[in-house]
Amino acid sequence: MQQEVIIVGGGMVGLSLALMLAKTNIAVKLLEAIKYPNYDDENLAPYHSSFDARNSALSRRSVQIYQELGLWNALQEHATPILEVNITEQGSFGKARLKAEQEKVESFGQVIENAWLGRVLLTQVKKEPLIELIDGVQVTSLTQDTDFAYIEAHRGESELKLQSKLVIAADGRDSFCRKALGIGASEHDYDQVAIVTTVQTSKPHGHVGFERFSHLGPLALLPLPGEYRRSVVWPVKKGTEGEWLGEENDQHFLDALQETYGDRAGKFQKTGKRFSFSLSQVLAEKQAVGRVVLMGNAAHTIHPVAGQGFNLCMRDAHVLVRYLKEQQAQGSDLGDAAILLDYEKSRLSDQQRVIKFCDSVVRGFSNQNPFLKLMRNTGLVAFDTIPGIKPLVANYAMGLKA
C-alpha cells in the first residue's frame, strides 16, 4: 500500500517539496489556507500570499534541484543569472567583488520573481497525479499517536478529517502546526521592515548584484529579466516605512536610491509599487516531533540580507526527501520518529552556519560605531585581496558546501 504524506502549507517550499516527493513516487495531500489565483493570462503572474512582490535569489544548488525536477527550462524564462556580486558600504572605503568567471562557475545563482516561481510550481503541481491539492482549507487541529498523525480542518462548510503516517508542516513563520504540537520558538525582532519593489535604471544591470550597506539599512539591488529592470530589497527602521510607500513618494524613493547607490546603476528612472514586510528571526526549538517535521519558515525564518532563507529551505527539503526515499525503498514507515530525528540532526550544521552568518551581517553592519565601521571595511578589503577566501565563500553562498 502506497503511503501518503500530508503537507500543510502550499507556499514555494510546500509546492517544491510536494513535487520532490511525487518524483520519488510518494503520494502527497497538500493543504493550503489561501485560495490560489486563476492563471487565465499566460503573460501574468498574479500575487498570492506566498507568491508576492518579493524575489528569490536561487543558489546554484537550488537551480540544480529544479533541474532534477525537470522544471528549470520553465523557470529559466523568468530568471536572470548573477554573474558578479559587489559589496560596499556607503561613505566607506571597503569593497568586495565576486565574479563568476574568476570562480570558474556559470553564475552565482538566478534571480526570479516569486510570483513567477509560484506560478510555474503551482502549474506543475496541478499536473501531477500523485499530488492532491486542497486550497482554501483551514487546519484547526493537529494531534498524533504512535501510529498516525491526525488533522482536522474546514473548507467552507465542509469538515475534513485526515490521517497520515507523516505530516510535514510548512505553514510559515507563525505556524499553526508548530504551536499545536507545543513546540516553542525563539524570536528576535530586528526592528526593521523590508521595502520591496522593482525599479528601472538608465544603465543595463549587466547581471551584477549589489549589496550596499547604508545608514538606512542594507540595500540589495539584483538583476531581473529585462536589461534595465532590477529588484530592490531595502530593510529600513520599523516605523519609517510610511515615507517610502505610496505613489506620492515615488520620487522621494528614487532620490534615496540615487543618493545611496550613486551612479553605478545610472539614473533610477522608475519605480513600481512598494510593499513592506516586517523582519524577524524565528527559530523552532525542535524540527521533528513524533510523526511531524517542520519545514520552511515554520522551522527557521531568517533575515533576507544575504538571500539565503529559501535556499536553506530547499536544501532541507531535498535531504528530507532522500531520507523518505530510503524508507520507502525498504517498505518502512515514512513517519518513523527516529528517522525524522536523524534528518533534523543532519541539517543542524548547515542551518546554524547560515543563521549565524545572516544574523551577524545584520547586527555587524547596523552598528555605526566608527571603530566597528573601520573593522568591517578592513574585512571587506581583506576578503577582496587574500587568496583562497573568495572560492570558499562563493561555494557556501551557492549552496554547494552544505
Under DSSP, the state recorded for 241 is G
Please tell me the distance from the alpha carbon of residue 176 to that of residue 8, in angstroms, as a whole number.
9
Query: Do the Cβ atoms of 7 and 298 come closer than 8 Å?
Result: no
Tens of each residue's pLDDT in the chain, 402 residues: 467 999 999 999 999 999 999 999 999 999 999 998 887 767 667 777 777 778 888 988 899 999 999 999 999 999 999 998 887 765 554 567 777 776 667 777 899 999 899 999 999 999 999 999 999 999 999 999 999 999 999 998 899 999 999 999 999 999 999 999 999 999 999 888 989 999 999 999 999 988 887 777 778 889 999 889 999 988 888 998 888 898 999 999 999 999 888 888 889 999 999 999 998 999 999 999 999 999 999 999 988 876 788 999 999 999 999 999 999 999 999 999 999 999 999 999 999 988 887 777 666 555 454 434 444 444 444 444 444 444 544 444 444 454
Angle between helices 60-68 and 309-329 (to 10 degrees): 40
DSSP labels for 92-137? Answer: SS-EEEEETTTTT-S-SEEEEEHHHHHHHHHHHHHH-TTEEEEES-
Joined together, the cell numbers standing for residue 263 give 551612479
Convert 255-287 to b/e letters by CB count within 10 Å (16 or more is b). Answer: ebbeebbeeebeebeebeebebbebebbbbebb
Under 8 Å CB-to-CB from 365, ≥6 apart: which residues?
89, 213, 218, 376
Nearest-angstrom CA–CA distance, 4 and 241: 44
**Virtual CA dihedral for 282, 288, 292, 297, nearest 10 degrees?**
20
Which grid coordinates belong to 346? 543532519
Cell representation of residue 28: 502527497
Between CA 62 and CA 81 the distance in angstroms is 13
Q: Which CATH class is domain 4-397?
A: alpha beta
Per the listing, cell 565563500 goes with 393
0.75 exceeded by the pTM? yes
